[in-house]
Structure 1
């Protein structure tokens, strides 16, 4: 019975903490665009954009000696 005096306030505090974190995430826009990042990976880059990394060497050419 004595453990309930500790567990009930801790559980109420945990519920308020979870609700506060959820409220912050909704207010900060975490759930605004759920599908955009999934589609962005499928889209091609614009023609003017260049890759930051150099293209890999052609594997069909013989190595330079």
Structure 2
């Protein structure tokens, strides 16, 4: 299984690191894991994050 660092994850999704930490602050960032001193995001956590954001967007669209 491959994992991403926070900067790699941000680059993949074209988000700034500040945006990542803002998402984390409100409980909407992907799950992270610590490997030694490194903080990583698994591909599974990334895929779950993406599905959750898609679901959130579709629910917001239905509510409008």
Q: Which has the higher strand share?
A: 2
Q: Shorter-chain TM-score: what band? A: 0.3 to 0.5
Query: Normalization by structure 1: what TM-score?
Result: 0.33
| Higher gyration radius (CA) | 1
Q: Which has the higher helix share?
A: 2
Query: Normalization by structure 2: what TM-score?
Result: 0.33
Q: Which is bigger in relative contact order (C-alpha 8 A, separation at least 6)?
A: 2
